[in-house]
Amino acid sequence: MSIVGQRIKWLREQKQWSQLQLAEKLGIHNTVLSRIESGDKKGVDAHLISKVADLFEVSTDFLHGRTEEPSWQRGSVRETPATFLDVDGLTEKDLIEVKRHIEFLKWKALQEKSEDPS
């Protein structure tokens, strides 16, 4: 069994969903999901990995076995959001984009500050 398959199966079981239920949510046939979970299917599509990560609100790093943290934890934008910033319902991809915008605004402010002679 592959790490991706193990992680997907574990997440599915945490929700007490059948393979059929999860397959429907992902828009794939349940036999495909069965092959992924058992490790028979090699090279799971990146788009499908992203869909699984979004559905279960975990990182793709968790699904690939690069981290043991299944949820948005260390290093995440969600960890210390500004109190006025409502991030509910945003995916990790959305949060990364928000972070990029904030970093750009900070950079822009520094540029403007360095140009101001007063």
Please check the confidence at residue 10 and state whether its pLDDT lies above 90. yes
Q: Are residues 95 and 44 in the same domain?
A: no
Q: Are residues 11 and 39 in the same domain?
A: yes
Higher pLDDT, 24 or 108: 24
Predicted confidence (pLDDT) per residue in 22-55, tens digit: 999 999 999 999 999 999 988 888 899 999 999 9
Question: Rounded CA gap, 82 and 78, in Å?
Answer: 9
| DSSP state for residue 100 in the 8-state scheme | H
Q: Tell me the average pLDDT across 61-66.
A: 89
- Which domain CATH number covers 37? 1.10.260.40
79 CB-near residues (< 8 Å, 6+ apart): 72, 73
Which of 16-20, 52-56, 89-93 shows the lowest mean pLDDT across its residues? 89-93
Q: Determine, yes or no, domain membership for 96.
A: yes
Question: Rounded CA gap, 35 and 61, in Å?
Answer: 21
What is the per-residue pLDDT for 74? 41
Question: Rounded CA gap, 108 and 19, in Å?
Answer: 48
